[in-house]
Amino acid sequence: MAAKSAKSRRSRVAPASSGRAKRTRGTGASYVYDSLKALILDLELKPGTLLDETLVSRQFSVSRSPVREALIRLSAEGLVQTLRNRTSIVAPFDVGTLPAYFDAMQLLYRVSARLAATHATPAQIERLRQIVHQHEDALHRNDMKSMVLFNHEFHSAIAEMSDNPFITGWMRGLLDQGQRILRLYAHNLGDHVPDATLRPHRDMVRAIAAGDLDGAEEAGRTDAQALIDAFKRNLSERPTASLAVDTGLARKAMAEEAE
């Protein structure tokens, strides 16, 4: 059974329906990197999935060298984990880091929105409005995959408006990690998201366009907090959330029963 499970996990380097991956753009390491990153961020490759270099190279029709280079880049971004035996897996979710992640998200949402209200150009603001419109269309179609991508694009665009390359880089890394969290959250919601979800985005665009620094920062805070609250609420409503389990007492009871 274990061997069968391992084989199944190795075979999921690309979606089962795709067969051999088709090269649509780029070559070599960049092609493998972009393809694997998209599969990981959209949870097509589940956390913990083994990424065998030989199998990946066959599926993407490349040698092992570009695969190894792509895995190194993904490891540096925290999306791939290299084990002691030098094999690679899709990085697992570390639930213990979620509070720190949410703190960083709220901070970056607030700071980037505030700075964007200072530096944004009319062309950048118009682009933000277009992203929000596309995001709304995806919401009405219940297309959560596109919604996650537009959320990434929206906050990346605001970070670019901050006119600070460090904030832009930090935001992109944060959003890449958050994309997996959002997909997991959406899966539990059944890919149905309330219309009110995008209200903070609209408020951010209005504040940035008006040069309202405090309003933009507050909209960024509200956007982050809404996601944090929704994620916590979703976890608390899971079927096992109401179970009170004391593992120490359980083990003691089992031991006494065995005696």
Rg (CA), the chain: 21
Report pLDDT digits (tens) over 127-179.
Answer: 999 999 999 999 888 887 888 889 999 999 999 999 999 999 999 989 988 88
Higher pLDDT, 48 or 43: 48
Q: How far from each other are the two terminal CA atoms of the chain, in whole angstroms?
A: 32
In DSSP notation, 168-226 reads: HHHHHHHHHHHHHHHHHHHHHHTS---GGGGHHHHHHHHHHHHT-HHHHHHHHHHHHHH
Question: What is the average per-residue pLDDT within 87-95?
Answer: 86
pLDDT at 50 over 90: yes
pLDDT at 20: 43
Domain-wise residue ranges, the chain:
9-90, 95-241
The answer to whether 13 and 45 have CB atoms below 8 angstroms apart is yes
Spatial contact of 77 and 83, defined as CB atoms under 8 Å apart? no
Q: What is the dihedral angle through the alpha carbons of 40, 78, 24, 50, rounded to the nearest 10 degrees?
A: -50
The domain at 9-90 falls in which architecture? Answer: Orthogonal Bundle (1.10)
Cβ-based neighbour number of residue 44 at 10 Å:
18
**The CATH number of domain 95-241 is 3.40.395.10:** no
Looking at per-residue confidence, does 43 or 125 come out higher?
125
pTM: 0.71
pLDDT range class, residue 192, cuts 50, 70, 90:
low
